[in-house]
Amino acid sequence: VGAAEGIASASEEDALPGDSGVWLFIFADMCAFAVFFLLFTVGRAANPVLYEASRVQLDPRFGLANTLVLLTSSWLVARAVHAVRAGDRARVVRGLAGALAVGAVFGVSKVSEWVSEVARGNTLLTNEFFSYYFAFTGIHFLHFVVGMAVLAVSVAKARHDALDARFRVWVESAGCYWHMVDLLWIVLFPMLYLQRTA
Amino acid sequence: VSAAAAQSERNATRAFAALVALSAASFVLVDTAATARLAVSVALAIAALKVRLVVVHFMDLTWRARGLRLAIELWIASVTALLLGGVWLAAR
């Protein structure tokens, strides 16, 4: 918990939803993605024609659908966190299980999109744009997989554990991590799919 | 359930509705607008607004956790400035 000193003071930790150590991880991860965004922006500025010719090969409907799916899953987690605070076990389980089910749609959609890109001949080695596209969405997907595992554990815990302060911190922490997965996609969506030059 | 908690939950649901609408709006805007740079800039500004909605209404990160909230706000501002800078400077 003390690891987050420098971002949150001891008195501020009480105001944090979830565990401050998880927040340290979340913020460090967001900073790592900010470096990815910098790399992409510099690459795009140096070679806008290549980036645009590559971008138009992506199907932005996948990007939008994935955005809506993650937003819905994130909202269901937010509802589950509120239910934990209200001590309503049925709503907690419903919210987390719903978030897990909707989240699975993102996994199917993302893999389908990758398969269609590879079938079109676009891989990690095609060019700089597609290297970044597969690397960034792949790293994001790893975060998504971890989040899904945490959500699955949370559903099991919500069914059996006491809805006490310890459990509240667990669900708030899991929720904030899941919202980070959503938040990073919110930036990746316009950056990769919508940045047209003409 | 306190009135504040109920209000917070209602705000999260309103934020969700706004997030869905903003996502669809940015998609349609970039797809149909005649001026690419302006449309992309608006889409990136919308993304920044969406990130703030998630931070405030889903993560529940208030200004009571001042250090972290400030760090996140700076992250949003920096990433948005970076992406907007890329859009406007690259074409010069």
Chain B residue with minimum CA distance to A43: B86
**Contact across the interface for A82 and B8, Cβ inside 8 Å:** yes
Residue A10 is predicted with a pLDDT of 55
For chain B, positions 49-88, list CB contacts with chain A under 8 A. Answer: 50-51, 54-55, 57-62, 64-68, 71-72, 75, 78-79, 82-83, 85-87
Distance (Å, whole) CA A14 – CA B62: 11
Under a CB-based contact definition with an 8 Å cutoff, are residues A102 and B35 in contact? no
Residue A11 is predicted with a pLDDT of 61
Residue A189 touches chain B, beta carbons under 8 Å: yes
Q: Distances in Å between the alpha carbon of A104 and those of A83, A141, B13?
A: 22, 12, 21
Under a CB-based contact definition with an 8 Å cutoff, are residues A18 and A176 in contact? yes
Instruction: Give this complex's ipTM.
Output: 0.95
Instruction: Report residue B17 as tokens.
Output: 């509705």
Of A188, A158, A6, give the one whose Cα is nearest residue A89. A158
Instruction: Report residue A54 as tokens.
Output: 């590559």
Residue A79 touches chain B, beta carbons under 8 Å: yes
Maximum CA pair distance of chain A?
A: 57
Helices (H), chain B: 3-32, 36-53, 66-90
For chain A, positions 126-155, list CB contacts with chain B under 8 A. Answer: none
Residue A5 is predicted with a pLDDT of 45
Given a cut of 70, whether residue B1 has pLDDT beyond it is no
Distance (Å, whole) CA A24 – CA A11: 16
- The predicted-structure confidence for B32-68, as pLDDT tens digits, reads as follows 888 999 999 999 999 999 999 999 999 999 999 999 9
Which secondary-structure segment (H or E) carries A37?
Answer: helix A20-46
Under a CB-based contact definition with an 8 Å cutoff, are residues A64 and A105 in contact? no
Residue B2 touches chain A, beta carbons under 8 Å: no
For chain A, positions 151-170, list CB contacts with chain B under 8 A. Answer: none
Confidence tier at B89 by pLDDT (50, 70, 90): confident
Residue whose structure tokens are 């903003």: B22
Q: Distances in Å between the alpha carbon of A136 and those of A12, A48, A102, A141, B1?
A: 33, 19, 22, 8, 41
Low-confidence ranges of chain A (pLDDT < 70): 1-14
Residue B38 touches chain A, beta carbons under 8 Å: no
Under a CB-based contact definition with an 8 Å cutoff, are residues A116 and A59 in contact? yes
Residue A15 is predicted with a pLDDT of 82
Residue A1 is predicted with a pLDDT of 39
**Contact across the interface for A186 and B50, Cβ inside 8 Å:** yes
